[in-house]
Each structure stands twice: as structure tokens, then as C-alpha cells.
Amino acid sequence: MNNVITKDYKVAIYIRLSREDEKQGESESITNQREFLKSWVSEQGYEISDIYVDDGFSGTNFNRPSFQRMLNDIETGKINMVVTKDMSRLGRDYIGTGEFIEKYFPAKKVRYVAVTDGIDTEYDSSGNDMAPFKAVFNDMYAKDISKKIRVALRTKQKQGLWVGGCPPLGYMIDPNDKNHLVPDPEEDYIVKKLFSLALEGKTPYQIRLILTEENIPTRAMIKGKVNNRINHAIESKSGIWNQKTIKGILTNELYTGNMVQNRRSKVNYKIKKVVNNRKEDWIIVENTHEALVSKNDFQTVQKMLPKTSIRCEKKIYRLLDGILFCYECKHRLGICNPRKSDGRTYTVCNYYRMNSKYNVCTSHGFNYDYLEQVVINTIKNIALNYLNEQELLKEASKLKFENPIEKIKHELNMLKEKQENKISNLDKIYMDKIENKISEDMYNRISAKLYKEIDDIKWEISEKEKYIEENNGTEQEIDYKNLLEEFISMKEPSREMILRLVDRIDVHADKQLDIYFNFKELNNF
Ligand SMILES: [Zn+2]
């Protein structure tokens, strides 16, 4: 205790300011820390050997340039005393900070002082006993701050506000509102082109070739934009498009005008590692910005895209790629490459193919071209029958009324009028009862009857309203009638056409096919 200041101290002043500290106000500012420490050191009668400043660095790790430089100077013996304003300036990680104070500094015979915390490793002061506790507090503080920022971000994300950095290709941050995205005129055409190529049935592999050959610039070429996405290095400035980038764009719902955030998050506040979140945890807010692709087209593209990365390499799609399923085990049915011996293409249950040694499912190996032909013919027949029936219905309906919906709307208005009348009758007999024109008994009997009638009318009204709501969407009906007519007129239906019409096809082991259409009316044929 009494062997005070017998050594010559070569003092290092260490100053750290994180972006979070900045928000807390001036008290922690670089200038304040520097002035405070300088005067403390001169009060003690020591010489300052060097000042180390890390501006904008978090205390949760020790990868800070000036901190590292200071360690280097400790190693070379240039300094033997470190002074900080408080312990959290050294670090906010309990284990790391404790390691320095309890092991590293003593081992290097470096004296450490955290002035406002009263910690001085030279003395066996009461402040030192507090050291581990202080470190725990600082650790908790860092956790708390990182939680606060995350909560603040979530709140913004839930409001559909953009809180990310550089937005995905095709968008830029609205110059008038940093939480809003607008199409980037230099890039949006690229995204639109990508989706229209995909709708034509091109695979990411083919799209990649087209974009590269047509010299469509990659984002890196357009702005030399530095983005830390995975594929940045690969496509760089060479102008060669990357398949993963293309698939990433084609599967990003953000392009439909919905804000999709929280797709990735940090593991914890100490580690910078980023993981992909489960889809349930994504924060999606609809229609927050201008879409570059319609929701319908986006859905179609999702169905057309290959589901696994292996199939991403596929050079062409077969007509039924992606909608064939094994009826028995519900897994996808793959379409093999043509057999070398006879050029024939066969289907295979993917589950069986991957696990055949475990004796699961059966091969479902059918001649694909034959299956395709059967499917096309079946759809054509169903479409023809359906269209014929629609024609007949139309003729029949002309005899009765022009438009069934209009008729029901009319009935609905009548019902509402009737309801009003009944209610005013109720009011009336209530008045009669008050004025003693009718007895209590009679009032009870009539009002019970009226209530029941009103209830019935209410039910009828809700039924009719439901009907109108369900059948008012005539737009879609017209849309798929045209689609069916187009399908029938096509010599060779396109994959896009098939995918717009058909949801999935279940293939049974005994060759039965179940075709599920996207339009519920067709499923009854
Ligand atoms: Zn199967």
C-alpha cells in the first residue's frame, strides 16, 4: 500500500467512442475524454507517452485499430500504464475486459487505471474488488443497447419502413424519405427484363447467359456500388452475371411492392456473424412501394423456378417441370435427363431416388414424353368441356335475367328496406307500451316475433352479401376463360401457360394422374 509511485510511468491514454455513445450525448465525446484524462495524468505528475483514439468502435470486441496499436506498444515496452475514463471505455465484454485487467496487464507489468470507476491495478484498492462486477455491468449495458436498437429496428420494419442500407437492385432510397424505396431509373429495367425472361420459361442459367451476352450491366458496373452481398466478388466488374444473384432477385418478394425485412439477423451482440432467419420471422408489410413485377407474375415465376440448387444448373425446363408430384409419398417427381441408349426421358420419385436403399416408395419411372402428351390432351378436353358449358350457361341465363349478381344486389336492397321497417315497428310498439296503449304481455309477444324476423332477415342479408363478394370477381373469370381459349388454340402449349392453369399433378404408382387446376371451377370437371 505504501510503495506508491516508485516507477517511471510511460502513460497511454486510451479513448473510445462508439456510435451508440455518440447518441448518449456530449459527456462521452472524444474531446471530453481527452481533456479529462490529460488533466488527470498531469495532476498525478506523469508524462503522457501516447494517446490512442478509437472513434466509432463498439466496445463489444477488441478489434479496434488504436487498441491494437496500443497492445503492440505494450509488447515493445513503449508504454507501461494505461488510463481510461471508465472501464467501459476499455471494453463492454465481461470476459474480454476481465482477461485484460486480471491477466494480460499484470503479466505485462502494465498498470491500468479506470479513473471514474476508481480502479487502479497498482493498488489493492476497494475499487479493484469491484472490477469484475463493473465488467458485468458493462456487459449487461452492451446487451441492453443492442436489444434496444433491435427493438427500434423491428418497430420500424413492422411499419413497413426501409431500415436497411443499400436496397436491392432496381430500387434506390427515396431522396425525400430515407425509409422509403423508389425504383432506380438506372436499374429497374433490368429487374423487369429478368422477370419477363423468367416468365417466358427461361432458367436462371439461361437468363445469366442472355444478360451477359446482351451486356446488361451488373450492379457493380453501374455504380461501382460497394455492397457486401455474397456474390459481389464473383460478378464484380467483369459484367458476368451470376446465377445465384438472378435467383435471388427472382425470389425476392420485395419486387412486388411488399416490404420484406428481417430476413437475416446477427447471432448476438458480441459476434458479427449473420444468419438467415426462418421465413415465419420475416417482417412483411404489403404495398409499401412501387412494384417492379405484379404479384400474379411473381407467383407464377416462383412455381417455375427450380426448387433446389442442383436443378438450378438445369439447362432447359421440360413442360411439366416443378408441378409433378409422387402421389404415394408426396415428394416431387423429378424428370431425368434423356437416356443415352434410346433417348427416352423418364420420371422418378425424388424421395425414392435419394433413399432407394432404404426401401422407401417406388421408382415412379414413367415415360415422360408420353405422360406430357396425356396431360396436355386431358387439359384440352377439360378446357373444351368447360368453355362449352359456359356458353350454354350464358344462353340459359339470358332467358332469366341479364346478370345474376345484379339481381341479387336488387334483392339485397329490398331486404335492407324490410329490415328498416321491422326495426321502426319495434320502436313503435315500444312507444305504445310506454304510453300504455298495449299491455306488457302483448309487447313481449310482438317484440319477440319482430326480433326473430329481424334476425332471419339479417341472416339472409349476410348470405347474399357473401355471395356477391365471392362472385363479384368477374375479372379473374374472364382472365382464365381467355387463358383456356388460348391454350386450346396453341399447337404446343408453353410452360408458362401450363403453370398458370395447373397447380400440381399427382402421379400414382399405377399411372393414374390427378390434375389440380388453379381455378376451382375446373377442378369439378
Ligand atoms: Zn414417392
In the chain, the amino acid numbered 368 is Y
Contact 257, 290 (CB under 8 A): yes
CB atoms within 10 A of CB 10: 18
- Of 124, 155, 186, the residue at which a domain comes to its end is 155
Question: Average pLDDT for residues 258-273, to the nearest whole number?
Answer: 64
260 in Cβ contact with 289 (< 8 Å): no
> Domain boundary at 104, 125, 155, which?
155
What mean pLDDT value characterizes the chain? 79
pLDDT tens profile 316-350: 778 898 889 998 888 889 888 888 888 888 899 98
**pLDDT for residue 228 is more than 60:** no
- Within this chain, do residues 114 and 222 fall inside the same structural domain, yes or no? no
**pLDDT (0 to 100) of residue 308:** 47
Which band of pLDDT confidence, cut at 50, 70 and 90, is reported for residue 27?
low
Query: Which contiguous run of DSSP H or E holds residue 213?
Result: helix 204-213
CA of 337 to the centre of ligand 1 (A): 19
Domain assignment present for residue 345? The answer is no
DSSP 8-state assignment for residue 277: P
Cα 352 to middle of ligand 1, angstroms: 6
Tell me: pLDDT of 96 over 50.
Answer: yes
327 CA distance to ligand 1 middle (Å): 7
If you measure from the C-alpha of residue 522 to the centroid of ligand 1, how many angstroms do you get, rounded to a whole number? 26
Q: Determine the structural domain holding residue 416 and report its residue range.
A: 372-517
Q: Is there a single domain that holds both residue 149 and residue 177?
A: no
d(CA 183, CA 171): 4
Residue 145 is predicted with a pLDDT of 63
3-class SS at 340? coil
* Residue 313: predicted pLDDT: 47
User: Is there a single domain that holds both residue 143 and residue 200?
Assistant: no
Q: Are 145 and 20 within one domain? A: yes
* Gap from CA of 305 to ligand 1 centroid (Å): 21
Q: Are residues 15 and 143 in the same domain?
A: yes
Report DSSP state, residue 349.
Answer: E
Evaluate whether residue 341 is within a structural domain: no
Residue 351 lies in a domain: no
Say how far apart CA 439 and CA 131 lie, in whole Å: 87
Q: Rounded to the nearest whole angstrom, what is the distance from the C-alpha of residue 325 to the centroid of ligand 1?
A: 8
Tell me how far the alpha carbon of residue 312 lies from the centroid of ligand 1, in angstroms: 22
Are 469 and 400 within one domain? yes
Query: Do 235 and 220 meet the contact criterion of CB atoms below 8 Å apart?
Result: yes
| Residue listed under C-alpha cell 350454354 | 392
For residues 143 and 151, what is the distance between their CA atoms, to the nearest angstrom?
Answer: 12
Task: Give residue 57's pLDDT.
Answer: 84
317 Cα: distance to centroid of ligand 1 (angstroms): 21
Number of Cβ atoms within 10 Å of the Cβ of 29: 16
Q: How far apart are the CA of 314 and the centre of ligand 1, in A?
A: 22
Q: How many domains does the chain divide into?
A: 3
Q: Average pLDDT for residues 417-425, to the nearest whole number? A: 87
Ligand 1 centre distance from Cα of residue 364 (Å): 7
331 alpha carbon to ligand 1 midpoint, in Å?
6
* Spacing, Cα 323 to ligand 1 middle (Å): 14
Instruction: Mean pLDDT check: name the lowest of 82-91, 112-121, 504-513.
Output: 112-121
* Highest-scoring range by mean pLDDT, 206-220, 362-376, 385-399: 362-376
Cell readout for 189 is 429495367
- Residue with more model confidence, 521 or 55: 55
Mark whether 137 and 182 lie in a shared domain. no
Q: How far is the CA of 504 from the centre of ligand 1 (A)?
A: 15
352 within some domain:
no
- How far, in Å, CA of 312 to CA of 309, rounded? 5
Say if residue 314's pLDDT is above 60: no
**Centroid of ligand 1 to alpha carbon of 421 (angstroms):** 63
- Report yes or no on 525 lying in a domain: no
**Gap from CA of 330 to ligand 1 centroid (Å):** 6
261, part of any domain? yes
CATH number of 64's domain: 3.40.50.1390
Rg of the Cα atoms in the chain: 36
On whether residue 353 sits in a domain, the answer given is no
- Tell me how far the alpha carbon of residue 349 lies from the centroid of ligand 1, in angstroms: 5
- Give a yes or no: residue 192 inside a domain: yes
CA of 241 to the centre of ligand 1 (A): 36
**Which pLDDT score is estimated for 51?**
95
248 and 284 fall within a common domain: yes
The predicted pLDDT at position 236 comes to: 47
Q: What is the pLDDT of residue 140?
A: 64
CA of 23 to the centre of ligand 1 (A): 59
Q: Is the per-residue pLDDT at 195 higher than 90?
A: yes
End position of a domain, from candidates 122, 155, 188: 155
State the pLDDT at residue 152.
61
The pLDDT of residue 231 is: 40
Rounded average pLDDT over 188-201: 92
CA of 208 to the centre of ligand 1 (A): 33
Residue 271, strand partner residues: 268
CA 353 to centroid of ligand 1, rounded, Å: 9
367 C-alpha to center of ligand 1: Å? 16
Q: Are 220 and 107 members of one domain?
A: no
User: 285 and 402 share a domain?
Assistant: no
For residues 69 and 136, state if they share a domain.
yes
- Of residues 143 and 426, more confidence is placed in 426
Q: What is the pLDDT of residues 455-506, one digit of tens each?
A: 888 888 888 888 777 766 554 455 677 888 888 888 888 888 888 888 889 9
Distance from the alpha carbon of residue 170 to the mean position of ligand 1, in angstroms = 41
CATH code for the domain in which residue 294 is found: 3.90.1750.20
Separation of CA 332 and ligand 1 centre (Å): 8
Whether pLDDT at 135 is above 80: no
Distance CA 136, CA 132 (A): 6
Q: Which CA distances in Å does 440 have to 421, 422, 424, 448? A: 22, 19, 19, 12
Cell numbers at residue 79, please?
508504454
What distance in Å separates the CA atoms of residue 9 and residue 125, rounded to the nearest whole number?
Answer: 19
Give pLDDT, residue 292. Answer: 95
Sign of the dihedral defined by the CA atoms of residues 62, 63, 67, 69, in that order? positive
CA 175–ligand 1 middle distance (angstroms): 53
Confidence label for 150 from pLDDT (cuts 50, 70 and 90): low
CA 182: distance to chain centroid?
A: 18
Same-domain pairing of 414 and 450: yes
Contact predicate 501/487, CB 8 Å: yes
Please state the rounded mean pLDDT for residues 38-55.
Answer: 89
Confidence (pLDDT) at 298: 92
How many Å lie between the centroid of ligand 1 and the Cα of residue 205? 28
